[in-house]
A and B are shown apart, each in its own frame.
Chain A
């Protein structure tokens, strides 16, 4: 098992932070606060990666999820009308609870059912370099396919939202 006490303490603290923040995302009424809690959840997950000594993944998690994704979410929230910015009561509460309970049951079942054998290889060293090697040598085709897909999505978004010409500004007094 994990030998170091510090790692165990860090794990439980991070786990508590992550799960607590994740619960608050669902519980909080204000959507903007939910997004902020979501950012904290991402940071907690990054801490988990650090505990697993996957520093590259941890930093990328902070950079992309806590930095970019949550900012995009705030962007989206701010573009919605103020009246829609609250988690109001909906008729879907009971079905959603049932669904969430089922998902939780599956996760708990899988966790208990898996045989958690401990791998005998050591911790990763230089994860950035080895990830780069992996992306550009054995997994180069999936990597390129994913980037082409993202490129197509971006061009598609630009084409869909493109306007033919600059709209004239409204005249004074109109």
Chain B
């Protein structure tokens, strides 16, 4: 199979280029395996990866125009020629490795930790299974960045719009019956950009390798705000 990968080394290249490799495929091969096969042929080819099973979130890439997690993307589902590029809209450090610092900074913006004001009980804080169910579809995020880097609103305003990942995280804490900072969290999302730059384009939903739905989470935050305003 022919796999074409994006190459750019700031030390030697004036501009990026695509380079084609011929790799041997086998049954059940994932895109990550293909990228490792490329690396076997050319050790200077660089990409991030680790767990190989879709939980660490290291190997998000843009393949044939869509953001995907390489380790859980079967080669058999990809149309040839397979073209692998770094995430769009992020500064490229080298080859497929992009600078995600803005993405992480936006995550930190939403105070992504449980806030309790009451003193802690001796045992666990109780939570009903129904309340716990409200976290499903929110807590599973692996922070791979597939969603935010496929979002046009995030491309235009990565410093002002929090992006789908951070907003999904904001929703995860708003939805947690144990959290006691709802008002501060909502106040923190006020303004024309942070939350409201979402134009429900829904690229994030398409891109999420864990089948989460940030657009729905954003809608949910807006609904809470509206309810609180009335």
Tell whether A and B belong to one assembly: no
* Interfacial residues, chain A to chain B (CB-CB below 8 A): none
